[in-house]
Structure 1
Amino acid sequence: MNIQLDTAPCGYFSISSEGIIQSVNGTLLSMLDYERGELLGRHIESAMSVTNKLFFHTYFYPYIQLHGHVNEMYVSFRTSTGQDVPVLLNGVRQQRDSETFIDCVVLAMRKRIEHEKDVLQSKARLEELYQKTNEANRKLELLHAEYETKQQELLRINHQLEAMAWTDTLTGLGNRRYFQEKLLAALASYRENNVPFSLFIIDIDHFKNINDTYGHPVGDQVLTNLARLLQSMTRENDIVARYGGEEFVAILPDTDQETGLSIADRYCATAASTMLGEYQITISIGVATATYGDTDQSLLNQADLALYASKSSGRNQATHAASLVRS
């Protein structure tokens, strides 16, 4: 294991398809207070409590066998001294040298979600009831129904949290993380299908003056209204997100250089002629169109330079990065 992986700021381990630990990095060893030799060759569930073994065995293995990956599963490991360490776990099933491995990373969590505590307590009660008489089995059925209800509620909450993680809370648009994922997907699609797409970086002109003059609540209102306006102008497959501050971004599939600049000009004209509540603004746009060899960062840099050119040329206009190269 290389030094970067061994000292990464997250725990890492790799297990066989049977759950036997094949490798583990130093970060996870420190987290669980084990020596490397104490974990290698042991089953991963040996570092878990009975409750977490049941949860891990019941949900982790079936899910990763069905989907090939697990994202943000909440589970607890147990240290060598018997202390529980709650973590978020991501895992992926991979083939190496004709053998199946499950590679996982874990991030330690500082706080427990109250609802998850309740679910884990229900599991503990389930374990106790399995050992009792027929009368206890009747109670177990009732408790199992309760557990299923809570599990569905937990899944619903997790779905809500996942949606929140990808959404800008002010405007309701996708956030920067959402945009970056979509940009990588657009580049992959372009390399596969050779159908160009264009990227916009959109900035509100003199936005600081709005905040300084009218206050941040008015600035937030302008951002929200502009987000709605941009959404109203997009096509079905276009993606609009808030990049940060007063900057928005858009990904326009199947859009070449000429079409992209034409659409950006329309965005500028529409924004300049539309009242956003009680206020009127203008926007500047930098446009870049994907070409062979572009990366997400190079495409963003091109659009950012084009945006700077729009600002420097008087604002309220769009500039394509290709025109900068020609200049």
Structure 2
Amino acid sequence: MLGKHIESFMSVTNKLFFHTYFYPFIQLYGHVNEIYLSFRASTQLDVPVLLNGIRQERDGEIYLDCVVVEMRKRLEHEKDILQTKKKLEELYQATNEANKKLELLHQEYEIKQQELINVNHQLETMALTDALTGLNNRRFFQESLLANIALFQLSQLPFSLFIIDIDRFKLINDTYGHPVGDLVLHGLAQLLKAESREVDIVARYGGEEFVLILPNTTEENAKLIAERYRAKIEATPMGDLSITTSIGIATFKSEDTDQTLISKADQALYFSKTNGRNRVTHAVDMV
């Protein structure tokens, strides 16, 4: 097997299964456990195996590391193996009519493969989207934050982070119920999205907290923008309710990391909460 692609040892059926399950699953979850396959040995005999795989990055490149274990207890799989072998024998012994069927099968496979690509794209989008609000989720935010830090290290362009928290949100849930609370979260999400630039990252951080990454935004500009958000939220009814928010801001410095930046913004948010709520605090202004 050294120096050869793993698919060169697979039958047509196993290749179809491999493309349909292994590649999409490992792209989505980063690992695959116990795929049952059979390899074609040099003796033309099928060797049943279990395959585990994991996606890893080394030196900036993505590798798929796999471990293959030969199946020694395969009674539960023998029926499937015999049926697959019989179908393959019939397929390869067929006449021109069977070849036409193969061509149709190949066309159908290409269609299914494209459908699978589309489904995988949808799944990837779902994996980065908050189901309740439709905003980006915490995972997307964290990936975007690292990307903005990398851009800062190249360009030195400043960017700022907002953490926005709904004041007394628990009271809304306790008084009006969680469905109303969900409507408030969705309404605030739409407002934040509408007020943001296309380059801004707007995400739900968790619970009633939202985060914004504002590229090319200095400390002073960040304060003005945050105050605009705060005032707009206060003036915008959420159904029959009016809400206020507290906002914490931090602007990235060369000595910061993703964790220190989040911590600074979180401390600024706590300052806003403990000093009357419905206010904006930048980390540099805490006293």
* TM-score above 0.5, yes or no: yes
Tell which has more relative contact order, 1 or 2 (C-alpha 8 A, sep 6+): 2
Question: Do the aligned residues in 2 keep the contact of 1:126 with 1:140 (CA within 8 Å)?
Answer: no
Question: Do the aligned residues in 2 keep the contact of 1:289 with 1:299 (CA within 8 Å)?
Answer: yes
Instruction: Report which of the two structures shows the higher radius of gyration computed on alpha carbons.
Output: 2
Question: Do the aligned residues in 2 keep the contact of 1:71 with 1:91 (CA within 8 Å)?
Answer: no
In 2, Cα distance between equivalents of 1:194 and 1:71: 33
SS in 2 for 1:201: strand
1:183 aligns with 2:183: no
SS in 2 for 1:275: coil
Shift of 1:229: 0.5
Quote the residue 2:164 is aligned against: 202
Once the two structures are superposed, residues 135-164 of structure 1 have per-residue CA deviations (whole angstroms, 9 ceiling, x without a partner) of 210111111111111111111111111110
SS in 2 for 1:250: strand
1:1-327 equivalences under 5 Å are: 18-19=3-4, 50=11, 54=15, 71-72=27-28, 76=35, 82=48, 84=50, 89-90=54-55, 103-104=63-64, 129-130=91-92, 132-324=94-286, 327=287
Q: CA RMSD in A?
A: 3.6
Whichever residue aligns with residue 106 of structure 2, its letter is H
Question: Do the aligned residues in 1 keep the contact of 2:167 with 2:243 (CA within 8 Å)?
Answer: yes
Shift of 1:271: 0.5
Alpha-carbon spacing, 1:49–1:212, altered in 2? closer, same or farther (3 Å): farther
Provide the aligned length of Structure 1 versus Structure 2.
258
Alpha-carbon spacing, 1:88–1:202, altered in 2? closer, same or farther (3 Å): farther
Shift of 1:203: 0.2
Alpha-carbon spacing, 1:131–1:234, altered in 2? closer, same or farther (3 Å): farther
Alpha-carbon spacing, 1:212–1:183, altered in 2? closer, same or farther (3 Å): same
Alpha-carbon spacing, 1:308–1:268, altered in 2? closer, same or farther (3 Å): same
Alpha-carbon spacing, 1:215–1:88, altered in 2? closer, same or farther (3 Å): farther
In 1, Cα distance between equivalents of 2:18 and 2:56: 14
Unpaired segments ≥5 residues, structure 1: 1-14, 20-42, 64-69, 96-100, 108-120
Whichever residue aligns with residue 104 of structure 1, its letter is L
Alpha-carbon spacing, 1:224–1:319, altered in 2? closer, same or farther (3 Å): same
Unpaired segments ≥5 residues, structure 2: 40-46, 68-82
SS in 1 for 2:129: coil
Question: Do the aligned residues in 2 keep the contact of 1:310 with 1:316 (CA within 8 Å)?
Answer: yes
Alpha-carbon spacing, 1:188–1:77, altered in 2? closer, same or farther (3 Å): farther
In 2, Cα distance between equivalents of 1:129 and 1:292: 65
In 1, Cα distance between equivalents of 2:119 and 2:158: 38
Identity of aligned residues (%): 54
